[in-house]
Structure 1
Amino acid sequence: MISDEIGLTIMNDCDFEDYVFPSPHNVTQSCNQAISEANGIVGDYINNYDVILDVCYPSIVEQELRLKKMATKMSVGVDVCMTIERRFYFNLPEVQKALHANRTNLPYNWSMCSRVLNYSENDGNINMLPLLKRIIQNHIPVWVFSGDQDSVVPLLGSRTLVRELAHDLKFKITVPYGTWFHKGQVCMHSNYFIHPFSYQCLYLM
């Protein structure tokens, strides 16, 4: 998706050991420049949640929805405009009334991610593994979902972290990472870890 030159610059100039979410991310200027160029190339033409799908163009689909036309755009069996359609649908007054929602007539539209809550970018630097470890140690099974073609939560990152967590907890692999079939069809890929004595569980899907 990006050129070899930009990819090599990111690999050579970016030290992600100390990377932080707030800009300038605690990395060099050349690293920031390369990441910015990569985002510019990928941004408008790639669906980050499934890199092989087509993208949806909001201005076109919103016009179609206002005209009450069929807006569905299928790509590899997926409606890539679902996010736009959902936002349009849940902001219709009749839908909100039927759901008993927005009864106080809020001055802004419903959206998947709220800007009302003041999230801190620094929260993205928090290591979640100790929390997951405590949850598992309290005999609560943990199921980690990760997309095979997802650049937001990349599969290799999830597999690495789950394996580290399983190793730290002295879990044994009961089902090696592989394909999970249902009625002859590939459903997903999975990995299953379990503690040999306490039966604490950790799944990766």
Structure 2
Amino acid sequence: MAGPGILRLYLVSALALSSCSLSLASDQRNADRVVRLPGQPESPSVSQFSGYVTVNERHGRALFYWFFEAQTTPEEKPLLLWLNGGPGCSSIGYGAVSELGPLTVVRQGAALKFNEYAWNKEANLLFLESPVGVGFSYTNTSSDLDSLNDDFVAEDAYSFLVNWLERFPEYKNREFYISGESYAGHYVPQLAELVYERNQNKKGKSYIDLKGFIVGNPITNDYFDSRGLAEYAWSHAVVSDEVYKSIKKYCDFKNSNWSNDCSATMDIVYSQYQEIDIYNIYAPKCLLNQTSASSAVQAFFENGQDQFRRRIRMFSGYDPCYSSYAEDYFNRKDVQRALHANVSGLVPGKWRACSDPILNSYNFSVFSVLPIYSKLIKGGLRVWLYSGDADGRVPVIGSRYCVEALGLPIKTQWQPWYLDKQVAGRFVEYHGMSMVTVRGAGHLVPLNKPAESLTLINTFLRGEQLPTQR
């Protein structure tokens, strides 16, 4: 049996190791602080950090993050992770500087401006470039890029969270939520499930206080999403009655391998979107010849069955060519230095808003995440799905089919919600989750309807109901 002296030695050693770990975490955190970015407005002040978190030491795999503390009382606010989809699109190029971050990029990437509708008004906001190979995230093992699938992405994101919380220990016991859009309709619930499962098995160091998730215009179930895309195109006068009759005749969307007749008919649908923006059917089309975007859009129309394509356009009233401005900004060397990005030069080529190689090599193996919804709803998590109702790529029709398929009893009937005395959208509350539409928004809801999206996320985080009175 160990004597008192030995026990004291163990205790002192443990305390010393703990103190050393905290000191290293503090040093790394301080090194990640971003004092001020090129072109950033002098006021208001923004507390921000960015850098790399290693997720696999053996492979030399590291993910890039950008973190904004809440604008007021960050010590009282929850932690909110945001993920963009693609697969292959950057959460800093879209979510952070184009949609919901406090600093958004202005024309030609010359500067940043403050976003008065930023989501860090109500939460500490964390953006992650995922999977590896997206944006500034990198690996020293090239075979990693051939292994990407939903499980791989979820494991890396979980490893990132555990290691990031070691660097920012004050958030370890904070309420945690996950959010995202488009193909993050897979990433978000899958990461939530992984956190939920690991929480059952381990307490203490790796416990994450997950409370719920919210997804926007999410890829959810291949059958319902494909069916919704076709029905939306017909119901919104994009295609003719004859084309829609052919779809109903030839297309069995339950079969992932479409027949030749179905593919030919759906090609007609996609061809109608060459002249308009599929991601917001009432928006103006970007007329710039964008090197980073044009190839992906062309590939989308050449192969309509691909899961998802790059999002490059904006809603009416905004500059529709914003992704090129983000690329101009993040390829500036002074910006990369300020963000502690690409410090070792391991990121190949230019920074892109979306990665064609990642999209083209991604292994699509999960066709529905609805079973995860059922599991996590039963586990007591708060679950919301929202949909901009002008999106033709992941339309509200398909999302309604997905939610209805869960078979949840209705708590509050379908009804309007309001902002500034106007109908902002509709919502329905089930016992277990809520579905919300945002009127006039396309695929990128926080970009198209910033005030509505801020109301939406604040209501979700507070566990409240959307305003039902003018």
Q: CA deviation at 1:116?
A: 4.3
Q: CA deviation at 1:47?
A: 1.4
Q: C-alpha separation between the residues in 2 aligned to 1:122 and 1:39? A: 24
The answer for unaligned runs of 5 or more in structure 1 is 21-25, 63-72, 195-200
Q: TM-score, normalised by structure 1?
A: 0.74
Counting only pairs closer than 5 Å after superposition, residues 113-124 of structure 1 correspond to structure 2 as 113-114=354-355, 115-116=357-358, 118-123=361-366
Instruction: Name the aligned partner's letter for residue 4 of structure 1.
Output: D
User: Alpha-carbon deviations, 1:41-76, whole Å to 9, x = none?
Assistant: 32x3221221111111232799xxxxxxxxxx9853
Partner of 1:7: 244
Equivalent residue for 2:282, pick from 42, 46, 52: 52
Instruction: Name the aligned partner's letter for residue 93 of structure 1.
Output: K
Q: C-alpha separation between the residues in 1 aligned to 2:332 and 2:326? A: 10
Counterpart secondary structure, 1:204: strand
Q: CA deviation at 1:150?
A: 1.0
Instruction: Name the aligned partner's letter for residue 40 of structure 1.
Output: S
Are 2:400 and 1:159 equivalent residues in the alignment? yes
Are 2:377 and 1:136 equivalent residues in the alignment? yes
143-152 or 78-87, larger mean C-alpha shift = 78-87
Counting only pairs closer than 5 Å after superposition, residues 34-45 of structure 1 correspond to structure 2 as 34-42=265-273, 44-45=274-275
User: Alpha-carbon deviations, 1:91-146, whole Å to 9, x = none?
Assistant: 222222221112122222223434348421343xx221111111111111111122
How many residues of Structure 1 are paired with residues of Structure 2 in the alignment? 176
* Structure 1 residues 88 and 45, CA gap change in structure 2 (3 angstroms): farther
Q: CA deviation at 1:86?
A: 1.9
The answer for unaligned runs of 5 or more in structure 2 is 1-237, 293-312, 437-470
Query: Greater CA radius of gyration, 1 or 2?
Result: 2
Instruction: Name the aligned partner's letter for residue 402 of structure 2.
Output: L
Equivalent residue for 2:344, pick from 104, 108, 116: 104
User: Alpha-carbon deviations, 1:152-179, whole Å to 9, x = none?
Assistant: 21111111211221x2xxx432222222
Partner of 1:172: 409
Are 2:260 and 1:29 equivalent residues in the alignment? yes
Partner of 2:321: 81
Is the 1:147–1:153 contact (alpha carbons within 8 Å) kept by the matching residues of 2? Answer: no
Q: C-alpha separation between the residues in 1 aligned to 2:394 and 2:314? A: 23
Instruction: Name the aligned partner's letter for residue 7 of structure 1.
Output: Y
Counterpart secondary structure, 2:415: strand
Are 2:425 and 1:185 equivalent residues in the alignment? no
**What is the percent sequence identity of the aligned residues?**
30
Counterpart secondary structure, 1:121: coil
Q: C-alpha separation between the residues in 2 aligned to 1:52 and 1:35? A: 21
Q: C-alpha separation between the residues in 2 aligned to 1:148 and 1:2? A: 18
Partner of 1:16: 253
Instruction: Name the aligned partner's letter for residue 11 of structure 1.
Output: K
User: Alpha-carbon deviations, 1:10-49, whole Å to 9, x = none?
Assistant: 221111121x2xxxxx22212111112322232x322122
* Structure 1 residues 110 and 191, CA gap change in structure 2 (3 angstroms): farther
Partner of 2:434: 203
Is the 1:147–1:155 contact (alpha carbons within 8 Å) kept by the matching residues of 2? Answer: yes
Specify which structure has the bigger relative contact order, considering alpha-carbon pairs within 8 angstroms and separated by 6 or more residues.
2
Q: C-alpha separation between the residues in 1 aligned to 2:335 and 2:343? A: 12
Instruction: Name the aligned partner's letter for residue 121 of structure 1.
Output: F
Equivalent residue for 1:95, pick from 291, 312, 335: 335
Instruction: Name the aligned partner's letter for residue 157 of structure 1.
Output: G
Q: C-alpha separation between the residues in 2 aligned to 1:74 and 1:145? A: 18
Q: C-alpha separation between the residues in 2 aligned to 1:49 and 1:116? A: 21
